[in-house]
Amino acid sequence: MPAVSKGDGMRGLAVFISDIRNCKSKEAEIKRINKELANIRSKFKGDKALDGYSKKKYVCKLLFIFLLGHDIDFGHMEAVNLLSSNKYTEKQIGYLFISVLVNSNSDLIRLINNAIKNDLSSRNPTFMNLALHCIANVGSREMAEAFAADIPRILVAGDTMDSVKQSAALCLLRLNRTSPDLVPMGEWTSRVVHLLNDQHLGVVTAATSLITTLAQKNPEEFKTSVSLAVARLSRIVTSASTDLQDYTYYFVPAPWLSVKLLRLLQCYPPPEDAAIRGRLSECLETILNKAQEPPKSKKVQHSNAKNAVLFEAISLIIHHDSEPTLLVRACNQLGQFLQHRETNLRYLALESMCTLASSEFSHEAVKTHIETVINALKTERDVSVRQRAVDLLYAMCDRSNVQQIVAEMLNYLETADYSIREEIVLKVAILAEKYAVDYTWYVDTILNLIRIAGDYVSEEVWYRVIQIVINRDDVQGYAAKTVFEALQAPACHENLVKVGGYILGEFGNLIAGDPRSSPLVQFNLLHSKFHLCSVPSRALLLSTYIKFINLFPEVKGTIQEVLRSDSQLRNADVELQQRAVEYLRLSCIASTDILATVLEEMPPFPERESSILAKLKRKKGPGMVPDIEEGRKDKNVNGGMEPISTNATTKSTPSPSTDLLSLGSSPALSSAPPSSSAGGLLVDVFTENHAPAAPGVPMGPVADDNFSRFVCKNNGVLFENQLVQIGLKSEFRQNLGRMYIFFGNKTSTQFLNFSSSVICQDSLKTQLSIHIKPADPTVDGGAQLQQILNIECVSDFVEAPVLSIQFRYGGTLQNIAVKLPITLNKFFQPTEMTSQDFFQRWKQLSSPQQEVQKIFKAKHSMDTEVTKAKIIGFGVALLDRVDPNPSNFVGAGVIHTKTTQVGCLLRLEPNTQAQVGGPERVLACALACARCRAVPSPNASLSPSLFTDVPSHTTDKQGHCIAAAL
């Protein structure tokens, strides 16, 4: 708004504003505004035409009233009229009103667009600028649609004024951000790059912003910008501070442009051309040199501008990660900042160092600052800086300094902020494990950790200790001894009791020789904690007791006494009661041989990614955790302990799509067979396989890890990640089915452009017809969207269709593809038949293509009820008392398709005897075979193979297993 001066001012407006400011109360203000509105209405209504000045004045008043929070529902037309005025001030007010008040107002948008178009083609730079600013300020889709084609033309036209070019570049940037799909890439792109050579620094600055954004999307097209950017940067850096008169800010030449150019260069790898590369390193060196020079001014603006350029340069150095000398220099520079007075500088220095630490060249250099960082941890007053210090310590840790760093972190943990304690605990646990030189130290550290911050030690941490102790023979004795000693403290944390219980149960015999830790002493020690523990820990302790019976026959009596007591046998908690009863019976009935077999020491755990690390990643978001083992191919890492997934992110990229990718487990992990061990309490149930989402590619990896779960059931959660949860509800009747898909938005922001489709591969198209009802294109944060799928089975099929969804979340396009659990067995109709009937038909179906038999190993213990439920869920009718052998399961059903109906018979013959008393497992693995006969051939291969996929949800509790074994 122009200043109210004599020549140009609007007296009426000034008076009105001062009236409002002088109002004593809100009521008075509203009265004044009502009066003014009535006045303006009568003026606008008046028959005689208003001159431009009064129109401008009244529109200004309306704008002011609107900004005070009142609704304005007239005057738009007058504002639009102002657009066509030839006076700058009138046009300006018109544009101001439009950009503040007009929101896709359908009647006027055409007029407005017309006016803007006129101005854009007017050749008058100020008018063009006004129009461009208006487009950028409104920035709506409609605007983008109307002008996306024109603006690039203005931007690259030879005869456009500099100031207009500047506005055009920024306007295009804005449109590109709001609706990137509408801004076409074309021949202008190459010419935009050449704007970097422009005389006018303002144009260059604006263009750099635009190019950076565009280059992030299409790096290839803007590759040429690298050399130009380097040239421009070197000119700026080497120029004396007086050269760039208007663009020198407190003695720093063009700081904003420098920062933007450095950002642009971060979109690309180091330039291949040696000359350019040399020039760039020269620039970076100059920037580093300048940082060493004494400041030219004491003003804070000077140092801020200088440091901004410096930090951006360091980011570029880290990004390139190729010049050892530069990296070391950068590290030293940051080291100076670590002790700077400015809190912000310290924070930034720590943050940059975190990334530096992961580079193999500068890792050693970073390590030299360990004392300073530890000092920062102890003395720093700002909690966010302390947090960064912890991150840096984590990042710089390796085998040589692990003992020191872990000790310091443990020290800090006692006084740390509650909010970050859990994270520190995880970090300590990971570091201790990864770089442990000897495992006695590791055990000590973790026990210490539990002692200091027991409440923050998550399950994963103590699971991990046990895994490691069990897998390493050499520490078992030591672990048992230390745990025993730790348990003697009058007050121990529950987690310690859990670890202690588990380890003593396994390896208590290793320390039983010492009279101070004789079996009875061990037992009494554990039992003294029993009543203070929660139910899960008590359950664990009960298992320890039964293990004690095996390890030390001499305490059998005492333990049986404990188990027999009412507080166990009649415990209100079912789990505890069952364990007590079963263990008591087991100890009474079974001979020592059986006991020894059943209560065998735990087998070593299969190696997999540390669940703690996974948890830390989940907690922080993957970009945040500097990946130690990858960035720097460190040979020091305890080899073999953790095969780390290969696609975890190495670079911290801000886009959520990469977050998604690394959050989901690696393909290696998801394609690995599901956990095969049945007996361990510590089966890694907590590392759930996250479905890998497929960003960017429409038909990327298809998530199907929940697929098998749906073979026998119709409802449940099909897919889940950070952003979205997909749930299913389906019903099938004969050859028709209906599926309700629920898309739940787990975030708080809206999904835009939401679309979903079902893709049927080649032959499936003819076999299955699926109709999907179109869904809403937006899903609000926290809301759920329902979509209905109508399915018709035309003929039998093998493959499953794929559901592919696309949506825009926070500006990035997300693609998710999930296998839809539509399998042939969904179209089963159960059929009842008698025993005679069944076997008669069974025998009829004897030709090889009508029959298939498969023998497979059950993945879980066989529970009759569960199996029955699964067979019914599979779709066939469960026929009771049909098979002469009562333990066999028999089913019959008819598959309905549009073309034919196929009868199917099924027999499942579990063999529970096989492999009883196997060497290690507490559980005897059940062998089973299934038999399926079908009339026409193609189906025959199907059902059993499906059946093998049936996952069992039985939990692998030792108690159940033993019961099954007996």
Partner 1 sequence: MIGGLFIYNHKGEVLISRVYRDDIGRNAVDAFRVNVIHARQQVRSPVTNIARTSFFHVKRSNIWLAAVTKQNVNAAMVFEFLYKMCDVMTAYFGKISEENIKNNFVLIYELLDEILDFGYPQNSETGALKTFITQQGIKSQHQTKEEQSQITSQVTGQIGWRREGIKYRRNELFLDVLESVNLLMSPQGQVLSAHVSGRVVMKSYLSGMPECKFGMNDKIVIDKQGKGGATDDSGKSELGGSGKQSIAIDDCTFHQCVRLSKFDSERSISFIPPDGEYELMRYRTTKDIILPFRVIPLVREVGRTKLEVKVVIKSNFKPSLLAQKIEVRIPTPLNTSGVQVICMKGKAKYKASENAIVWKIKRMAGMKESQISAEIELLPTNDKKKWARPPISMNFEVPFAPSGLKVRYLKVFEPKLNYSDHDVIKWVRYIGRSGIYETRC
Residue selected from 11, 31, 153, 177 as contacting partner 1 according to rule CB under 8 A: 31
Euclidean distance between CA atoms 44 and 77, whole angstroms: 10
Residue number with CB closer to partner 1 (35 or 771)? 35
Q: CB of 24: closest distance to partner 1 in angstroms?
A: 6
Decide if residue 570 touches partner 1 (CB under 8 A): no
Rounded to whole angstroms, how far apart are CA atoms 208 and 215? 10
CA 730 to chain centre: 29
Taking the complex as a whole, how short is the minimal distance between the CB of residue 169 and partner 1, in angstroms?
34
Give dist(CA 280, CA 234) in Å, integer.
7
Tell me how far apart the alpha carbons of residues 247 and 201 are, in angstroms, rounded to a whole number: 8
329, 296 Cβ separation under 8 angstroms: no
| Spatial distance between the Cα atoms of 833 and 841, rounded to a whole number of angstroms | 10
379 forms part of the interface with partner 1 (CB under 8 A):
no
C-beta of 105 vs 885, nearer to partner 1: 105
Which range binds partner 1 by CB under 8 A, 72-80, 242-250, 522-530, 913-921? Answer: 72-80
Between 108 and 683, whose beta carbon lies closer to partner 1? Answer: 108
Between 27 and 414, CB nearer to partner 1: 27
**Angle 361-217-235 from CA coordinates, rounded to 5°:** 60
Residue among 21, 45, 633, 881 that touches partner 1 (CB under 8 A): 45
Stretch that binds partner 1, among 32-40, 254-262, 594-602, 656-664 (CB under 8 A): 32-40
531 binds partner 1 (CB under 8 A): no
Exactly one of 9, 22, 41, 781 binds partner 1 (CB under 8 A); which one?
A: 41
Helix, strand, coil percentages (3-state) for the chain, rounded to 5, are: 55, 10, 35
Instruction: Please tell me what DSSP assigns to residue 672.
Output: S
Residue type, 350: L
Q: How far apart are CA 254 and CA 240, in angstroms?
A: 11
434 in a labelled binding site: no
Closest CB to partner 1 among 107 and 566? 107
> Which residue stretch of 35-43, 509-517, 664-672, 877-885 sits at the interface with partner 1 (rule: CB under 8 A)?
35-43
**Residue 767 identity (one-letter amino acid):** Q
Query: Distance between CA atoms of 800 and 730, rounded to whole angstroms?
Result: 15
Query: Applying CB under 8 A, which of residues 25, 415, 646, 846 lies at the interface with partner 1?
Result: 25
Which candidate, 822, 799, 866, 825, places its Cα nearest to that of 728? 822
**26-34, 695-703, 726-734, 931-939 -> range binding partner 1 (CB under 8 A):** 26-34
Tell whether residue 61 is among the known ligand binding residues.
yes
Site string for partner 1, 344-373 (x = CB under 8 A): ------------------------------
Residue linked to tokens 């003014």? 36
886 lines the binding site for partner 1 (CB under 8 A): no
Is residue 48 near partner 1 by the rule CB under 8 A?
no
Does the annotation place 43 within a ligand binding site?
yes
- Among 76, 174, 870, 933, interactor with partner 1 by CB under 8 A: 76
Does 434 bind partner 1 (CB under 8 A)? Our answer is no
Output the smallest distance, CB 38 to partner 1, in A.
Answer: 3
Task: Rule CB under 8 A: choose which of 20, 37, 794, 964 binds partner 1.
Answer: 37
Position of tokens 């937006």? 778
- For residue 35, the minimal CB distance to partner 1 (Å) is 4
Q: Please tell me what DSSP assigns to residue 887.
A: T
Does residue 415 belong to the site contacting partner 1 (CB under 8 A)? no
Q: 739 forms bridges with which residues in the sheet?
A: 730, 789
* Min CB(110)–partner 1 separation in Å: 14
Q: Is 59 annotated as a binding residue?
A: yes
User: Binding site annotation covers 91?
Assistant: no
The enclosing H or E element of 869 equals helix 864-874
Q: How many positions of this chain bind partner 1 (CB under 8 A)?
A: 21
- Alpha-carbon distance of 311 to 316, in angstroms, equals 9
How far apart are alpha carbons 240 and 252 in whole angstroms? Answer: 9
Residues 613-642: x/- map of binding to partner 1 (CB under 8 A)? ------------------------------
Indicate the residue among 109 and 465 with the shorter CB distance to partner 1.
109
**Of 70-78, 218-226, 335-343, 687-695, which part binds partner 1 (CB under 8 A)?**
70-78
Closer CB to partner 1, 28 or 685, in the complex: 28
Tell me how far, at minimum, the Cβ of 16 lies from partner 1, in Å.
13
Q: What one-character DSSP code corresponds to residue 751?
A: B
| Structure token pair of residue 57 | 């004045």
Choose between 74 and 856: whose C-beta lies nearer to partner 1.
Answer: 74
Of the candidates 6, 21, 26, 635, which one interacts with partner 1 according to CB under 8 A? 26
Give dist(CA 932, CA 704) in Å, integer.
25
Report the half-sphere exposure of 856 (CA within 13 A, side-chain side): 18
CB of 74 to partner 1, least distance (A): 5
Cβ 46 to partner 1 shortest distance, Å = 8
Is-contact 386 376, C-beta < 8 A? yes
Q: Is 58 annotated as a binding residue?
A: yes
Asked if residue 57 belongs to a known ligand binding site, the reply is yes
| Nearer to partner 1 among residue 109 and residue 262 (C-beta) | 109
Assess 746 for contact with partner 1 (CB under 8 A). Answer: no
Q: Does 179 bind partner 1 (CB under 8 A)?
A: no
- Interface residue with partner 1, options 1, 11, 35, 592 (CB under 8 A): 35
Was 53 annotated as part of a binding site? Answer: yes
Q: Which stretch binds partner 1 (CB under 8 A): 38-46, 111-119, 227-235, 754-762?
A: 38-46
Three-state SS letters, 301-330: HHHHHHHHHHHHHHHHHHHHCCCHHHHHHH
Are 615 and 458 spatial neighbours (Cβ–Cβ below 8 Å)? yes
Residues 7, 18, 69, 491: which binds partner 1 (CB under 8 A)? 69
**Contacts (CB under 8 A) with partner 1, residues 102-141:** 105, 107-108
Q: What are phi and psi of 385, to 5 degrees?
A: -70, -40
Pairing between β-strand 784-793 and β-strand 768-772 as defined by DSSP bridges: antiparallel
Q: How far is the CB of 50 from partner 1 (least distance, A)?
A: 13
For residue 12, say whether it is annotated as part of any ligand binding site: yes
Among 74, 604, 763, 771, binds partner 1 (CB under 8 A): 74
- Sign of the Cα pseudo-torsion (480, 962, 540, 519, in order): negative
Contacting residues for 473 by C-beta, under 8 A, at least 6 apart: none
Q: Given CA atoms 570, 576, 579, 584 in this order, what sign does their dihedral have?
A: negative
Judged by CB under 8 A, which stretch of 100-108, 334-342, 577-585, 836-844 contacts partner 1? 100-108
Other C-beta atoms closer than 10 Å to the C-beta of 153 total 13
- The rounded distance, in Å, linking the Cα atoms of 630 and 650 is 7
Contacts of 86 (CB under 8 A, 6+ apart): none
Query: Does residue 913 touch partner 1 according to CB under 8 A?
Result: no
CB of 237 to partner 1, least distance (A): 49
Quick check: 89 and 55 in contact, CB under 8 A? no
Nearest to 400 by CA among 638, 641, 636: 636
Task: Choose one: 41-49, 311-319, 557-565, 639-647; the region binding partner 1 (CB under 8 A).
Answer: 41-49
What type of residue sits at position 515? P
Residue 68 near partner 1 by CB under 8 A:
no
User: Please, which residues have CB within 8 angstroms of residue 557's CB and are 6 or more apart in sequence?
Assistant: none
Residue 20 is a binding residue for partner 1 (CB under 8 A): no
Return the structure tokens found at 737.
């089915």
Which residues belong to the annotated binding site? 11-12, 43, 53, 57-61
Which residues bind to partner 1, rule: CB under 8 A? Answer: 24-26, 31-32, 34-35, 37-39, 41-42, 44-45, 69, 73-74, 76, 105, 107-108
